[in-house]
Amino acid sequence: MPSPEDLSPLLPTMTEWRRDLHRHPELGFQEHRTAAFVAASLRGFGIEVAEGLAGTGVVGTLRGRPGNRAISLRADMDALAMTEATGLPYASEAPGRMHACGHDGHTAMLLGAARWLAANRERFAGTVHLVFQPAEESLGGARVMAEQGLFARFPVDAIYGLHNLPGLPLGTIAVPKGAVLASSDTWEVTFRGAGTHGAKPHLGTDATLAAAAFITALQAIASREVDPLGTAVVSVGHIAAGDPAAPNVIPATVFLKGTARALAEDVRTHVETRIAEIARGIAALHRLQAEPRYIRRLSPTVNHPAQAAVMVRAAQASAGAANARDDHPPITAGEDFSEFLARIPGAYAWLGTGAPAHPEGWHHNPHFDFNDAALIHGAAFWCSLVETELA
Ligand SMILES: [Zn+2]
Ligand SMILES: [Zn+2]
């Protein structure tokens, strides 16, 4: 099985690719330069390329020895709408756009694996589809790719995902047993009362008091209603009411918006139901109206056991038993890889990139940077996974 050492001759090239992508980050569904670079690179390795799925998506198809099985390996390509603060020589040249989640690294790693696999086709039997996905960060590029026929055009037995994880030792591959990442939904509630003079509250119905009671009651969902060993998060992210220029007015409406997370579908549904019930119940108590709305965005990402086991075997082969973990606690962030797992079997693993170079250099922070030393570990794992699945 290919090891990181086997891939090390590609490290300078992969690093160059990664830093070039880092310098030119593009937001979801706008990854035109990135997609063109990916497509041209794949063609250069002698790989068939399909472009335009979900706009900027790219799929490379690589055939090994004759074989009936096919798998997909997925990398995301998009950046975040934030301004980089690393000061690195290859920092983003686009103010307001930054690769702060390491998708530049994911793209470079999968390209490195593609190049190695294209030169070693006799080592596997069957077909590998290399899926370069747009818009993972909040715009749901995976769903759009699936709806536009990804699996109809490129049928596979399984799909796999890999994400960098700072804090996990460099080169460690950790494969969660079940839940990997949480559902990520948005909720909104508008309380409508009767506005009145701030000195004469008895002449109206105070939506701000209802909103205050609602915020407090919300936290009982996670702490009192969900099994303490389960997971739910309900957070208020935005409150809007009144006018700072009119502190002597009790506003007629209060608008609240927030996020809800869960690791299991039944918990997610409970949270959805209860946010609405609590909003309406508190509104009734305060003699006013509540209009709750719940927007389901991403389902929980939950590994399929058989594919998770394959990932563990591949990790043991490429990274060594000491660096391959068959478990990792779930994380309450979300991933649209769940859209793929809702349609076909698959699994998702974490790639350790070691301690961040900057003390604040975690995902989605302006000081984040992908650790290039991890590129050969990720690429070797991908190659090992192909040889494991398509033996
Ligand atoms: Zn992210
Ligand atoms: Zn990410």
- Give me ligand 1 centre to Cα 337, in Å: 12
Mean pLDDT of 124-129: 98
- Give me ligand 2 centre to Cα 34, in Å: 16
Distances (CA, A) of 218 to 95, 99, 162, 279: 37, 34, 34, 9
Model confidence at 50, pLDDT cuts 50, 70, 90, reads: very high
| Angle CA 320–382–333, to nearest 5 | 95
Separation CA 348–CA 114 (nearest Å): 19
Tally Cβ neighbours within 10 Å of residue 137.
Answer: 21
Return the structure tokens found at 370: 């992908």
298, 331, 357: which is the final residue of a domain? 298
Residue 73, classed as helix, strand or coil, is strand
- Give me ligand 1 centre to Cα 284, in Å: 39
Q: Is the pLDDT reported for residue 32 higher than 90?
A: yes
- Give me ligand 2 centre to Cα 137, in Å: 7
Judge if 26 and 140 occupy the same domain: yes
Q: How far is Cα of residue 64 from the mean position of the Cα atoms in its chain?
A: 30
Judge if 189 and 325 occupy the same domain: no
Ligand (nearest to CA of 80): 1
For residue 316, what is the enclosing H or E element? helix 305-319
Tally Cβ neighbours within 10 Å of residue 170.
Answer: 16
- pLDDT of 138: 84
- Give me ligand 2 centre to Cα 238, in Å: 24
- Strands (DSSP E) found in the chain: 48-53, 57-63, 65-76, 125-133, 158-165, 173-174, 179-181, 183-192, 196-197, 232-241, 249-250, 253-262, 289-298, 301-302, 324-325, 346-352
Judge if 242 and 379 occupy the same domain: no
User: What DSSP string describes 136-166?
Assistant: -SSS-HHHHHHHTTHHHHS--SEEEEEEEET
Which residue range forms the structural domain that includes residue 266? 183-298
Mean pLDDT of 206-212: 98
Residue 55, classed as helix, strand or coil, is coil
Separation CA 312–CA 324 (nearest Å): 7
CATH number for the domain that contains residue 259 = 3.30.70.360
- pLDDT of 10: 98
Separation CA 336–CA 144 (nearest Å): 10
Judge if 307 and 276 occupy the same domain: no
- Give me ligand 1 centre to Cα 201, in Å: 45
Judge if 112 and 258 occupy the same domain: no
- pLDDT of 42: 98
Separation CA 124–CA 117 (nearest Å): 9
Judge if 169 and 261 occupy the same domain: no
Judge if 65 and 117 occupy the same domain: yes
Q: Is the pLDDT reported for residue 336 higher than 90?
A: yes
280, 298, 316: which is the final residue of a domain? 298
When divided into structural domains, the chain yields a total of 2
- Give me ligand 1 centre to Cα 235, in Å: 19
- Give me ligand 1 centre to Cα 100, in Å: 7
Ligand (nearest to CA of 301): 2
Judge if 177 and 190 occupy the same domain: no
Separation CA 186–CA 171 (nearest Å): 35
Judge if 289 and 279 occupy the same domain: yes
Q: Is the pLDDT reported for residue 331 higher than 90?
A: yes
Judge if 257 and 157 occupy the same domain: no
Separation CA 328–CA 319 (nearest Å): 16
- Tell me the pTM: 0.93
Separation CA 8–CA 95 (nearest Å): 33
* Burial state string for 356-383 with b = 16 or more CB within 10 A and e = fewer than 16: bebeebebebbbbbbbbebbbbbbbbbb
247, 278, 298: which is the final residue of a domain? 298
- 3-class SS letters over 224-246: HHCCCCCCEEEEEEEEEECCCCC
Which of 185, 160, 167, 146 has its CA nearest to residue 263? 185
Give the tens place of pLDDT for each residue, 229-286: 999 999 999 999 999 999 999 999 999 999 999 999 999 999 999 999 999 999 999 9
Which of 261, 267, 281, 331 has its CA nearest to residue 303? 331
Q: Is the pLDDT reported for residue 288 higher than 90?
A: yes
Please, what is the average pLDDT of the chain?
A: 97
Q: Is the pLDDT reported for residue 108 higher than 90?
A: yes
- Give me ligand 1 centre to Cα 364, in Å: 6
Return the active site residues: 78, 136
Ligand (nearest to CA of 137): 1
Ligand (nearest to CA of 364): 1
Ligand (nearest to CA of 333): 1
Judge if 34 and 122 occupy the same domain: yes
On whether the CB atoms of residues 183 and 334 are closer than 8 A, the answer is yes
Return the structure tokens found at 181: 């990442």
Mean pLDDT of 176-197: 97
Give the tens place of pLDDT for each residue, 135-176: 999 899 999 999 999 999 999 999 999 999 999 999 999 999
- Give me ligand 2 centre to Cα 164, in Å: 8
CATH number for the domain that contains residue 36 = 3.40.630.10
Which of 283, 271, 280 has its CA nearest to residue 223? 271
Judge if 274 and 320 occupy the same domain: no
Ligand (nearest to CA of 348): 2
| DSSP secondary structure code for residue 366 in this structure | T
Exposed (0-12), middle (13-18) or buried (19+): which is 11, by Cβ within 10 Å? middle
Residue 190, classed as helix, strand or coil, is strand
Q: Which residue has the tokens 């939904």?
A: 185
